[in-house]
Amino acid sequence: MQLFRKKSIDASIQTSRQGTQLKRELKATDLAGTGIFVLTGVGSLTAGPALILSFVIAGLACLFAALAYAEFSSLVPVSGSVYTYSYATLGEFVAWIIGWDLVLEYLLAVSAVSSGWSGYFKSLLEGFGIHLPAALTNAPGGSVPGAIVNLPALVIVLIITFLLSIGVKESKWVNNIMVAIKLIVVALFIIVGIFYVKPAHWSPFMPFGFSGVGLAAATVFFAYLGFDAVTTAAEETRDPQKDLPKGILWSLGICTFLYIIVTAILTGIVPYQNFASHKDAPVAFAMQFVHQNWLVGLISLGALVGMFTVMLVMLYGQIRIIFSMSRDGLLPPIFSHVHQRYRTPYVTTWSFGIFAALLGAFVPLDELAQLVNLGTLAAFVLISIAVMVLRYKQPDLPRKFKTPLMPLVPILAIIFCVFLMVQLHEATWIRFLIWLAVGLIIYFIYGYHSSNLNKRKSDEQKAG
């Protein structure tokens, strides 16, 4: 079996220019700024004020991996992110594994964030005296008795699915407006909150030791999701060689800076122990704690739009991964069918959008959300290996962006990501391995034989 057959970079670019081409509508300014408002402050219960260090560690892991991503995205400007890059360097089998891994990452990210969005939406409505019944705002099987369906989570994902189905030109403007709103809200929190910081709340700085910092880093890593999804937009980027590296590095830099500032202010305003009963909305609680209730509603609004953009970019990225795998023959061709009018993968968008909406509506995803982190970290490790392999095997390929300090940066990415991976719970690893096992079954039953590379080989043998 030829498990490690490779699809050349030239073939990947040529495929993107054939009939299933997507619109080129995005620029670097459209790709930056996702994932800013998710999970800020949640890890304080395991790290205390040292949560700042947790964000730094998670940010460094992303930074080193981002530099590898940027080189590949400028070299292979086609849809598919790390899946496509792995196909060109490490072979089809590894590409399938990482593609299947990314499907899990993005799908669960959308569902998990939709549950959080529902909570903030309910809180915002309560500020206006509107109380939604608990049975319709919580998934069954969780801690809320009598829960039937998380209706707000279901509706918001369906709205996002509709936006993506009619074309990225339309949905990107919605995304940019949401980014602007949440940045204004974060700025307001910083300006107001800094006057209520008490340095005494930062002591002890590391109450649970470095192990607590490591566990928190593995948890808040979820907040950085989004920059890797930027690379899935290669075909819809007007100048991918320049815009994708800019989008990746700008989005990551902005997010890291804001996380550190907001975390420092949060833990300076409120003693970290107090977040135990308010971990779902720590920023809004901090403003309540200092009696700045006028800002609580704005904080909730900022959280809502922040989560909206995260879900938008995650579902967007997942659809493009499925699209690319289908176009390579590893999944049925229906998933790479492009709508004649909108030029979007219409069937894939609605199929997986509805699936994500149902997961958020009917499944409590508190524990499963850790799978998102594990899947992302595994992708980062593979892309860091791939950039070294390709630099060694094909050093003369034109690279508009080169990972600096090769091979030190990719090695550091691997070290940081593996460190975060081993912090995650054993149950998370078991679920992750089960998901991969299901993926392997699908690959060997369908993908391996239906692969375009396998068909091409069969045609060549018949011709010979």
Is 8 among the domain residues?
Answer: no
Is 4 among the domain residues?
Answer: no
Mean pLDDT of 39-64: 83
pLDDT band at 240 (very low <50, low <70, confident <90, very high): low
- pTM for this model (two decimals): 0.78
CA–CA dist 85, 394 (Å, integer) = 13
Q: How many CA atoms lie within 13 A of 213 on its CB side?
A: 15
Is 19 among the domain residues?
Answer: no
What's the confidence (pLDDT) of residue 159? Answer: 94
What's the confidence (pLDDT) of residue 226? Answer: 60
Give the CATH number for residue 286: 1.20.1740.10
CA–CA dist 392, 385 (Å, integer) = 11
Is 464 among the domain residues?
Answer: no
Candidate from 55-59, 212-216, 368-372, 391-395 with smallest mean pLDDT:
368-372
> For 82-98, what is each residue's pLDDT tens digit?
677 778 777 899 889 88
- What's the burial of 148, exposed, middle or buried (CB within 10 Å: 0-12/13-18/19+)? middle
Mark residue 12 as left, alpha or beta (left: phi above 0; alpha: psi -120 to 50; beta: remaining).
alpha
What's the confidence (pLDDT) of residue 451? Answer: 92
What's the confidence (pLDDT) of residue 344? Answer: 80
Mean pLDDT of 123-139: 83
Domain count, the chain: 1
CA 320 to each of CA 46, 124, 151: distance values in angstroms, whole numbers, following the listed order: 35, 33, 27
Is 21 among the domain residues?
Answer: no
Find how far residue 47's CA is from the centre of its chain.
23
Report yes or no: 252 and 58 within 8 Å, Cβ to Cβ.
no
Report yes or no: 245 and 401 within 8 Å, Cβ to Cβ.
yes
Largest CA distance in the chain: 80
Mean pLDDT of 241-264: 77
Report yes or no: 178 and 309 within 8 Å, Cβ to Cβ.
yes
- Give the highest mean pLDDT range of 21-25, 232-236, 388-392, 434-438: 434-438
For tokens 């799978």, what's the residue?
371
DSSP-derived secondary structure letter, 333: G
What's the confidence (pLDDT) of residue 27? Answer: 41
Provide the b/e sequence for 425-441 (b: ≥16 CB within 10 Å): eeebeebbeebbeebee
Is 7 among the domain residues?
Answer: no
Assigned token pair, 189: 């929190």
Is 368 among the domain residues?
Answer: yes
Is 36 among the domain residues?
Answer: yes
> For 282-298, what is each residue's pLDDT tens digit?
787 888 889 887 888 88
pLDDT band at 15 (very low <50, low <70, confident <90, very high): low
User: What rounded mean pLDDT belongs to the chain?
Assistant: 80
Assigned token pair, 364: 């409590």
Domain residues for the domain of 363 are: 26-457
What's the confidence (pLDDT) of residue 229? Answer: 56
Report yes or no: 144 and 138 within 8 Å, Cβ to Cβ.
yes
> For 55-89, what is each residue's pLDDT tens digit?
889 989 988 888 887 787 666 655 445 677 778 77
Candidate from 40-44, 272-276, 318-322 with smallest mean pLDDT:
40-44
